[in-house]
Structure 1
Amino acid sequence: MAELKFNNVVKQFGKTEVVHGINLDIKDKEFIVLVGPSGCGKSTLLRMIAGLEEISSGTILIDNKIVNDIAPKDRGLAMVFQNYALYPHMNVFNNMSFGLTLMKTPKEEIKQRVEEVGHILGLEDLLLRKPHELSGGQRQRVAMGRAMVRKPSIFLFDEPLSNLDAKLRIQMRAEIKLLHQRVNSTMIYVTHDQVEAMTLADRIVVLKDGHIEQVGTPLDLFSKPVNTFVAGFIGTPPMNLVECKINKEQDATFIQFEGGLRLPVPDKKGIDLSSDQKMIFGLRAEEIVPVDTRTQLPKEWMFKGNVMVFEPLGNETQLHMDIMGVRMMSRSEGRRIIRANEEINLGMNLNEMHLFDAKTTRVVY
């Protein structure tokens, strides 16, 4: 069992506060991903869990035990760093067993643990090789294996895939997810890559400037962002976010854009928008699609748009559109041939739109 709790955790470097009163509960065996732009405090949080950074105030608890003053080696954790940090003069076996040797674990147990982990990670034929004889993915697996042999209660990953090429990152993402299923331990993973966050996490913690913006499952964050930062950070491509104003005419409510585009607002219970209220309209690219005979949307949700740029990806094509002076991203089937400067009919699924307050950036619809 390895539950982790942050209670009002603050970190200061000198007089500068970089982590501002973090409160977070992580359940036993949960895979949590801390995601955010550079400088948001995610690696600092990870290092405070590991005991590599002192906490300025607040408490961190592991299984309801405060660990603020407990040495890193006594916390029952294992950390996988961004760089592999392997000893170049040692072979794979000795790199993986180094921590156990320092703990004076019996040799037979060391051999058993290393061979068991080597089999799980597909390293059984590489145990006598040295790091310079391995590929980047193999080295990263050795770093993971070094953590696994210790049988920690919590695994900490600090951007472990950022040094790998795109194809290898995809492969290693699957390896890490399989690892979580096999070892069934709590895992905390830091990344700036929201694709990694979406594909790996049970829950995602979105950080900005040392504050938690939102915590939730990948689908919760994708479909119910609490503000424009989360809406723009989670999802590829990011959500379309466009400034607009609310217009009311009799019993109908409309969104008015500067270029002349006007959209009806579907009724939602308990939501009352004020006329002339400044808002930010949000709609994901997959909810703006070229119209065909299968499209089942109201006519007032359909518009003509001009293709400014098209990006074919094979399975889909991403379209940069000009819709009556408003720039938005759209998605089309990959097999459909669309050219720049072509005018096409688009349908918007306005049931999936979001409205954010222009001042606070918080979601209101």
Structure 2
Amino acid sequence: MAQVIIKDIVKRFGKTEVVHGISLDITDKEFVVLVGPSGCGKSTVLRMVAGLEKITLGTVSIGDRIVNDVAPKDRDVAMVFQNYALYPHMNVFGNMSFGLKLSKTPKAEILQRVNEAAAILGLEELLHRKPHELSGGQRQRVAMGRAIVRKPSVFLFDEPLSNLDAKLRTQMRTEIKRLHQKVQSTIIYVTHDQVEAMTLANRIVVMRDGNIEQVGQPIELFQNPANTFVAGFIGSPPMNLVPARIVKSNERLMVRLNDQLNVPIPEKTGMMVRAETDVIMGLRTEDFTVDNGNSHFPEEWKVDGTVEVVEPLGGETHMHMDFNGVTFIAKSEGHRIFKAGQQLRMAMNLNHLHLFDAGTTHSMY
């Protein structure tokens, strides 16, 4: 059993409090990703779980025991860091087996565990090589292998892919997800990269300034962000967020973006909006589509705009567009060619419209 329960933990460095009493229950075999900008406290939380940082207040439980006063080596966790921290004078086998040798594990069992981990990570042909003979991705796999051979209850990953190039990061994301499927252990993973979080996690924990902003499955956070911070952090490009005001026109509620642009508000169960309320309107980039006359959306959901900047990415194209003085980013298929200055009629999928309170920044439904 490798359930991790974080209860009301606080971390202070001197008089400075950097983690403000957060709580989180992580179930056995779950893959949880802590994500947020630099300085949000995610690595500090991970290090408190590992025992590398002392908890100021609150408790951390692994399995059935509170581990606040348990030494890191006795917590049954294994940590993979951003830097590989491999011994340069040892080969891959030596690096992966070193911790087992220190714990006086029998040689036959060491050989079996290292070979099993090497097979999982595709390192069988590299066991004789030294770290300087390996690529960055191979070194990171060795660091992961060193953790796997210990057969811990919980794996802790602290931004393990930050030092890799874009192609290797994509490859290693697949490796880590495959690892979780094979070893079926609890994983707590820290990153500032929301793409890593979305692709890896069973659940994502979005953090800011030492607090948890929202916890949920990736699709839940993408579709139903609790506030503008989550809406702007999850998704690439981030959600369009524009200051606006709720007004009533012909007995209907509208979002007034400026004197020239009003957007109708579809009726949604649970949406609590009133006229003359300041809001922040949110709409994802993929909820804009070029209207070729065959769109199934109502005419009032369509607006004319001017392309200002085009970002072709191959599989998709991002367009920064001006709609009557309001700028939005729209996403289109990569095979379509657009030019700056081009006039386009766009349909908005207002079924996916988000409204946030301008004061609290919290979702209004």
Q: Identify the TM-score tier after normalising by the shorter chain.
A: over 0.9
Instruction: Give the Cα–Cα distance (whole angstroms) in 1 for the partners of residues 78 and 192 of structure 2.
Output: 21
Q: Look up the match of 1:321.
A: 321
Instruction: Give the Cα–Cα distance (whole angstroms) in 2 for the partners of residues 104 and 332 of structure 1.
Output: 59
Q: Is the 8 A contact 2:272 2:364 kept in 1?
A: no
Q: Look up the match of 1:242.
A: 242
Instruction: Give the Cα–Cα distance (whole angstroms) in 2 for the partners of residues 176 and 109 of structure 1.
Output: 24
2:275 is the alignment partner of 1:275: yes
Q: Is the 8 A contact 1:259 1:325 kept in 2?
A: no
Matches within 5 A, 1:197-212: 197-212=197-212
Matches within 5 A, 1:349-360: 349-360=349-360
Single out whichever of 307-316 and 232-241 deviates more from structure 2.
307-316
Count of aligned pairs between the two proteins? 365
Q: Look up the match of 1:303.
A: 303
Instruction: Give the Cα–Cα distance (whole angstroms) in 1 for the partners of residues 320 and 328 of structure 2.
Output: 6
Instruction: Give the Cα–Cα distance (whole angstroms) in 2 for the partners of residues 322 and 151 of structure 1.
Output: 55
Q: Is the 8 A contact 2:20 2:211 kept in 1?
A: yes
Deviation per residue, 1:238-289 (Å, 9 max, x gap)? 0000000010135310110125210111112343422221000000000011
Q: Look up the match of 1:50.
A: 50
Q: Look up the match of 1:31.
A: 31
Instruction: Give the Cα–Cα distance (whole angstroms) in 1 for the partners of residues 133 and 220 of structure 2.
Output: 43
Matches within 5 A, 1:73-152: 73-152=73-152
Q: 1:255 to 1:199 in 2, by over 3 A?
A: same
Q: Look up the match of 2:184.
A: 184
Offset, 1:293: 4.0
Q: Look up the match of 2:228.
A: 228
Q: Look up the match of 1:331.
A: 331
Q: Look up the match of 2:344.
A: 344
| AA aligned opposite 1:177 | K
Instruction: Give the Cα–Cα distance (whole angstroms) in 1 for the partners of residues 220 and 18 of structure 2.
Output: 27
Instruction: Give the Cα–Cα distance (whole angstroms) in 1 for the partners of residues 231 and 222 of structure 2.
Output: 7
| AA aligned opposite 2:349 | N
Instruction: Give the Cα–Cα distance (whole angstroms) in 2 for the partners of residues 270 and 282 of structure 1.
Output: 17
Q: Look up the match of 1:288.
A: 288
Q: Is the 8 A contact 1:41 1:207 kept in 2?
A: yes
| AA aligned opposite 1:169 | R
| AA aligned opposite 2:79 | M
Q: Look up the match of 1:18.
A: 18
2:216 is the alignment partner of 1:216: yes
| AA aligned opposite 1:27 | T
Instruction: Give the Cα–Cα distance (whole angstroms) in 1 for the partners of residues 270 and 192 of structure 2.
Output: 36
| AA aligned opposite 1:209 | D
Q: Is the 8 A contact 1:259 1:324 kept in 2?
A: no
Q: Percent identity?
A: 64
Instruction: Give the Cα–Cα distance (whole angstroms) in 2 for the partners of residues 272 and 103 of structure 1.
Output: 60
Offset, 1:12: 0.3
Instruction: Give the Cα–Cα distance (whole angstroms) in 2 for the partners of residues 198 and 271 of structure 1.
Output: 27
Deviation per residue, 1:35-64 (Å, 9 max, x gap)? 000000000000000000000000001113
Offset, 1:337: 1.5
Q: Is the 8 A contact 2:282 2:354 kept in 1?
A: yes
Q: 1:297 to 1:357 in 2, by over 3 A?
A: same
Instruction: Give the Cα–Cα distance (whole angstroms) in 1 for the partners of residues 115 and 63 of structure 2.
Output: 30
Instruction: Give the Cα–Cα distance (whole angstroms) in 2 for the partners of residues 268 and 164 of structure 1.
Output: 44
Describe the SS at the equivalent of 1:174: helix
Instruction: Give the Cα–Cα distance (whole angstroms) in 1 for the partners of residues 13 and 270 of structure 2.
Output: 45
Single out whichever of 249-258 and 116-125 deviates more from structure 2.
249-258
Deviation per residue, 1:10-50 (Å, 9 max, x gap)? 00000111000111000000000000000000000000000
Instruction: Give the Cα–Cα distance (whole angstroms) in 2 for the partners of residues 293 and 160 of structure 1.
Output: 48
Instruction: Give the Cα–Cα distance (whole angstroms) in 2 for the partners of residues 115 and 60 of structure 1.
Output: 33
Instruction: Give the Cα–Cα distance (whole angstroms) in 2 for the partners of residues 164 and 292 of structure 1.
Output: 42
- Pairwise CA RMSD of aligned residues? 0.9
Unaligned 5+ runs, structure 2: none
Single out whichever of 71-80 and 311-320 deviates more from structure 2.
311-320
Instruction: Give the Cα–Cα distance (whole angstroms) in 2 for the partners of residues 259 and 328 of structure 1.
Output: 17
Q: Is the 8 A contact 1:79 1:155 kept in 2?
A: yes
Deviation per residue, 1:217-239 (Å, 9 max, x gap)? 00000000000000000000000
Q: 1:53 to 1:341 in 2, by over 3 A?
A: same
Q: Is the 8 A contact 1:2 1:154 kept in 2?
A: yes
Instruction: Give the Cα–Cα distance (whole angstroms) in 2 for the partners of residues 158 and 311 of structure 1.
Output: 32
Q: Is the 8 A contact 1:259 1:326 kept in 2?
A: no
Q: Look up the match of 2:165.
A: 165
Q: Is the 8 A contact 1:8 1:22 kept in 2?
A: yes
Describe the SS at the equivalent of 2:359: coil
Describe the SS at the equivalent of 1:257: strand
